[in-house]
Structures are given as structure tokens and as C-alpha cells.
Structure 1
Amino acid sequence: MRRLCLLFLAAFPLAASAEDTAAPNLDPSAVTAPGLVARMVTAQALFAAGQLQKDALSMLAAAHLAGSVTLIATERQPEAGAATAIDGEGPPLPPDAAAMAAAARAALDPDETLAIVLAEEEAANRLIPAGSLRSTQAVLAPGAAQDWRLAFDGQALAEVGIIGAGQVPLRMTVTDAAGAVICMPQTQKPTASCAFVPRESGYFTLRVENLSEQPASYLLLTN
């Protein structure tokens, strides 16, 4: 009997250990091709590079990418935690597709041929949009972090991303309900994206950290 009791008690640490090492809520076999969030993040990076290098064609391509996605303004609140508010308004938000197109048009002004191409691209985007994303504006104090609780369906593509204003470095981390890391892009840039397929429906936490001593404005994007 004593031996059976010892075996029974010894089983509890093993059960706890198995629970602690539970697999993340992630289907590792699923193939995740770049989606609309990745498209928007790429558009912002391409536009910023085009502005820096005075490359009108890059700005034109960025405007085309961004213009093909419809952003639906969505009211969401971060989880309660450390103070993240800033005094007054944050920095201007990243340019949207219309602002990109206007900048590209100004850069292309002397070139009538490329200006015609831009007009055709804008018309094509209006006629055949690639899809839509939910978009939420947020501001973040220097050195602060915000957590967003997001629900995603199991066995379906989940996409999240952030697009920050200017060159303020941000860090993005996605964890499941148990705290297991789903993705943490190894970058400290204003933009980041992550695509994954949950094993089952559930809640996930997106953490955004401001790694600078300046206030940050950013867009939170989800599919």
C-alpha cells in the first residue's frame, strides 16, 4: 500500500510538468503565405525607402500595395496595466494609400508617362480591392508597453501587424492564452507582422513595446 501511495504522489509532479510544457496553440504543419497584413507592412517600408532615396517608382509601388487593401477602423482598447498615455497627441500616423499616392504624384510630376501609370493603378485598386483589414490607432509613451487581447479561430490564418510612425523602434510579441510565444519578430523597426494558424480557437495577446525615449503612434492591424 505504501508503495502505491508513493507512486500516486510521484505522479503529480509529472502531471504538472506535462501541463507546464503544453504545446503552444499553433499548428506547426500549416503553411502561412504572406497575407494582407504583410502587404501593408511591406508597403510602408517600401514607401519610406522610396522617400529616403527619392525613388518615385518605389513610392508608386507602395501606393499600389497599400491602395489594394481597405482598412476598417475598429474600436479596441488595450488591456489594463501600466500607464501608457502621453500628454497631447502622438506623432502623426503613417501615411495611408491616399497620402502615398499624392507624394508619388508630386514626385512624378515632370514625367507624364509615369503619372498616367499612377492614375491607372489607382483606378485598378478601386475596382478590384485585394481585401480588408481591421485597423486601430494607438499611442504609446516612451519605454511603455501595451497588451491587446485578440481572438482567432482555430485552423484559420491569423495575421497581426503594427505600423509605426516615423523611425521610432517598436517590438511586437504574440503569445497564446497560456503565455507561450507564438512569434516575436527579431527586429526593432517601426513595422512588424506575424502570420500563424492556431491549433484551436482561442485568445492571444499582442504586446507592443516602445523601445525609444520618444512617444510613438502606430496602427494595429488584424485580419
Structure 2
Amino acid sequence: MRRCLLIAALVGGAAAPGFADGPTPLRQAAISAGLYARGLEAGDPLLILAAAQLRKALDMQPLGGEALPGAPGPAGWEAMIEDALALTAADDPLRDLAEDIAAQAWKGVISGPVYRIEALGAGDEARLADLSFRGGDYAEVYAEAAPGTDLNLSILDDQGRLVCADSHPSHVAYCGWTPAEDGHFTLVVENRGTSETHYALMTN
């Protein structure tokens, strides 16, 4: 129980302010990816399990149905749990927590955010134009690659003006904004890394 409470504290502490009802699904995806990367870097299985718990609750789905075996995609909760277990001893109580997370089920959840997979060469950028968002509704775009990648994300309005950007050095990039009116936007993803990468792209 204490371990579960600690995971809840880690997840709550990672959430960005401004979400009275908790983070949105895409923001939750970004939080889980950040916890996972920090856990891998620090060799901390508890952080990785916190990421796995968040990621499992999301139930992200590939565009067009079930992903093919071995196909690139965002990190799954199963892989996160495997990485956490690799950092624990055989008698570590965290193994029991990992089993609890794997057995968890969320009632009423049919499917989570839908993602599409794109490839991007080192130093290249990709543009996706004519994305429609409603005025007054919170709009979100999220991109995730493998840890160690550096993705930048920018959103331009129909006049080419920058409305949101995430240039923090990270393998994930998130933009959220509220359009003043209905409109079309252009999404720009840039690979600042030194090698080609695949990334998952999601919008709300």
C-alpha cells in the first residue's frame, strides 16, 4: 500500500498545474514518458513503474487498428514493467507492485488516444498542414520518440504565426493551447538528433 501511495505521489507531482480534473490523456502520455526516461537514466524501478501505471491507464491505440509485431510505436506499459523488473532483485517487493499494475483494469475505458507513426531523418523536419481545431476548446498535439532522441514541436496558425512551441531537449514534445476561433493549423516536428527516428504523433 505504501508503495502504491508513493507512486500516486510521484504521478501527482509530475502533473502540470492547470488541470483541475487531472491531466488530459495526451498530457498524461507526456508525463509517463518523462517518468520512464528519468527512471531509466537513474536506474530507478519505482519511477519506471509509475510510468507504466500511467501508460497502462491510457490504452493508446495505433491508427487503423492493432499494431504489427515489431512495429515502432510509443513505449508500452509491458516493456516499462520489464525494464523495471530488470533493475530489481528476486526478493524486491517492487516485483509484487509490478504484478499489481499488470493485473489492474479500468472499467468503462473503451480505447485511448490514437497515434500514427512517422519517420524523420537527422536534422529534418516534417510539416502536417490543415489540422482543424475548434475555437474555445483546448487543443493538444503530442509527439514521442525513443529516449535519447531530441524532438522539437511547433504549431503555426493559418497566417504562419507561432501559437505554441516545445523546444526543450527531450524525446517527447507537447503543445497545448486554446484557439480563439475555429481554424486550421500547421504542425512542425523537427528531429534535432543525430540519427533517423520514428515517432508517434497524437492530437486530440
Pairwise TM-score range, normalised by the shorter structure: 0.7 to 0.9
User: Cα distance, 1:115 vs. partner?
Assistant: 2.1
After TM superposition, list the pairs within 5 Å mapping 1:97-112 onto structure 2.
97-108=77-88, 110-111=90-91
User: Cα distance, 1:169 vs. partner?
Assistant: 1.4
Q: Which residue of structure 1 lines up, in the alignment, with residue 112 of structure 2?
A: 132
State the structure with bigger RCO (CA 8 A, min sep 6), 1 or 2.
1
State the Cα deviation string for residues 61-87 of structure 1 (Å, max 9, x = none): 010111110212226xxxxxxxxxxxx
Q: Which residue of structure 1 lines up, in the alignment, with residue 52 of structure 2?
A: 63
TM-score by length of 1: 0.70
Q: 2:94 aligns with which of 106, 114, 137?
A: 114
Q: Relative to 1, partners in 2 of residues 1:36 and 1:130: Cα closer, same or farther, differing over 3 Å?
A: farther
Would you say 1:72 and 2:61 are equivalent positions? Answer: yes
Q: Is the 8 A contact 1:166 1:190 kept in 2?
A: yes
Q: Relative to 1, partners in 2 of residues 1:195 and 1:51: Cα closer, same or farther, differing over 3 Å?
A: same
Q: Is the 8 A contact 1:136 1:219 kept in 2?
A: yes
After TM superposition, list the pairs within 5 Å mapping 1:158-173 onto structure 2.
158-173=139-154
Q: Relative to 1, partners in 2 of residues 1:130 and 1:197: Cα closer, same or farther, differing over 3 Å?
A: farther
After TM superposition, list the pairs within 5 Å mapping 1:33-72 onto structure 2.
33=19, 34-72=23-61
Q: Is the 8 A contact 1:92 1:165 kept in 2?
A: no
Structure number with larger C-alpha Rg: 1
Structure 2 stretches of 5 or more lacking a match?
1-16, 65-70
d(CA) in 1 for partners of 2:135, 2:156: 15
d(CA) in 1 for partners of 2:61, 2:135: 23
d(CA) in 2 for partners of 1:219, 1:39: 15
Q: Is the 8 A contact 2:134 2:181 kept in 1?
A: yes
Q: 1:211 aligns with which of 184, 192, 195?
A: 192
Q: Is the 8 A contact 1:35 1:159 kept in 2?
A: no
Q: 1:189 aligns with which of 154, 160, 170?
A: 170
User: Cα distance, 1:104 vs. partner?
Assistant: 2.0
Structure 1 stretches of 5 or more lacking a match?
1-30, 76-90
Deviates most, 111-120 or 193-202: 111-120
State the Cα deviation string for residues 114-172 of structure 1 (Å, max 9, x = none): 22222222333444659721211111012211012322222222111111123121211
d(CA) in 2 for partners of 1:44, 1:194: 15
- RMSD of equivalent CA atoms: 2.5
What is the percent sequence identity of the aligned residues? 27
Aligned length in residues: 178
d(CA) in 2 for partners of 1:60, 1:125: 16
